[in-house]
């Protein structure tokens, strides 16, 4: 049992980058974490971390062990799960989901899942960027950015339409844009993870323009609010714009140009697809997003 605890401790330190952070996560003290890692190093007969004033870095042996130990721990947990109590799920799932998506649409999915499976412990992290679930230790990473990663299984959920919007007051004394190239002379309200290059599709094809980012944020609700206050032009998820467009707080820009949809997906390390809890939660996510997206349901 100590070996398994030491494995989990090593993987937490590798993921979080420090003994103190791993200790906080485990509810213990850094000296205990350091001792567990030292015991594992003694067993491996190799140094797993370089310790310096700059912090901790994995050695070459440590990087190899990180992948191997992660796979080994998953196999051990899967074996335990398949034992006498296999009909009752008992597992911890570490999940990444964008902030706005979690608050507005996905929190009920996770709550309903835990009600149905009370033995599953959910650790939900609100992160508004693309992450490699293997490197950052997630069982499921939900997102809409197009990045892909090796040895990661992707489950398609639903499309996420977007609109280009601004407040009518922003164009008092300014000409309205007639072409995407006009956007670079306006103030851009930018979602940090997707960057300041915006693409739109028209009759002649796709046009990409670099906007002047005067305000960036990791939460699109903040960008919508900034747009409503007349701070500039925002490219945000269409469901977030509906009420403001209907009330006249926002107007759509360049409606004859189409903003390419993003596609929401759930990314899972291939080795974690063996987990029954992971598979069941993926099924719940698909059921909640297909064939009708959650923001289009009554």
All structural domains of the chain with their residue ranges: 2-81, 91-156+263-296, 162-260
- Whole-structure pTM value: 0.68
Please tell me what DSSP assigns to residue 218.
S
| CATH code that applies to domain 91-156+263-296 | 3.40.190.10
Query: What's the pLDDT at 7?
Result: 85
pLDDT at 86: 53
Nearest to 134 by CA among 150, 110, 156, 145: 150
The whole-angstrom separation of Cα 90 and Cα 292 is: 31
Position 77 scores a pLDDT of 74
SS3 118: coil
- Per residue in 220-255, pLDDT tens? 999 999 999 999 999 999 999 999 999 999 999 999
Question: Given its phi and psi angles, is residue 232 left (phi above 0), alpha (psi -120 to 50 degrees) or beta?
Answer: left
pLDDT greater than 60 at residue 85: no
DSSP, residue by residue, 231-262:
S-EEEEEHHHHHHHHHHTSSEES-TTSBPPPE
8 A C-beta contact, residue 9 and residue 65: no
In this structure, which CATH number among 1.10.10.10, 2.60.40.10, 3.40.50.20, 1.10.260.40 belongs to the domain 2-81? 1.10.10.10
- Could you tell me the pLDDT band of residue 5, with boundaries at 50, 70 and 90? confident
The torsion angles phi and psi of 20, rounded to 5 degrees, stand at -65, -40
Residue 25 is predicted with a pLDDT of: 83
Domain range 162-260, its CATH number among 3.40.190.290, 3.10.620.30, 3.40.1410.10, 3.90.105.20: 3.40.190.290
pLDDT in tens, 7-23: 888 888 888 888 888 88
Residue 230, Ramachandran bin (φ over 0: left; ψ between -120 and 50: alpha; else beta): left
Kindly report the three-state secondary structure assignment for every residue of 9-34. HHHHHHHHCCHHHHHHHHCCCHHHHH
Domains 2-81 and 91-156+263-296 share a fold: no
Under the banding of pLDDT at 50, 70 and 90, the label for residue 262 is very high
């Amino acid at each position: 049992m100590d070996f398994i605890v030491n494995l989990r401790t090593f993987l937490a330190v590798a993921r979080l980058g420090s003994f103190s952070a791993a200790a906080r996560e485990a509810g213990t003290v850094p000296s205990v974490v350091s001792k567990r890692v030292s015991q594992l190093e003694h067993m491996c007969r190799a140094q797993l971390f370089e310790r310096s004033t700059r912090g901790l870095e994995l050695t070459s042996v440590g990087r190899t062990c990180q992948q191997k130990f992660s796979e080994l721990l998953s196999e051990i947990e899967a074996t335990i799960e398949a034992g006498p109590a296999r009909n009752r799920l008992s597992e911890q799932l570490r999940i990444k989901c964008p902030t706005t998506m979690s608050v507005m649409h996905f929190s009920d999915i996770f709550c309903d899942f835990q009600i149905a499976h009370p033995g599953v412990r959910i650790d939900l992290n609100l992160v508004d960027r693309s992450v490699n679930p293997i490197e950052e230790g997630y069982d499921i990473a939900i997102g809409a950015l197009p990045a892909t990663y090796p040895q990661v299984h992707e489950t398609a959920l639903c499309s996420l339409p977007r609109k280009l919007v601004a407040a009518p007051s922003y164009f008092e004394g300014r000409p309205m844009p007639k072409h995407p190239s006009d956007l670079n002379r306006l103030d851009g309200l930018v979602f940090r993870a997707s960057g300041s290059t915006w693409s739109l599709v028209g009759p002649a094809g796709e046009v990409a323009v670099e906007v002047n980012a005067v305000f960036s944020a990791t939460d699109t609700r903040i960008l919508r609010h900034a747009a409503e206050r007349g701070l500039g032009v925002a490219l945000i998820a269409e469901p977030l714009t509906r009420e403001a467009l209907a009330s006249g707080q926002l107007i759509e820009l360049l409606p004859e140009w189409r903003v390419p949809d993003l596609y929401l997906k759930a990314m899972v390390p291939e080795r974690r697809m063996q987990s029954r809890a992971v598979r069941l939660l993926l099924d719940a996510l698909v059921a909640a997003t297909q064939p009708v997206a959650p923001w289009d349901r009554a």
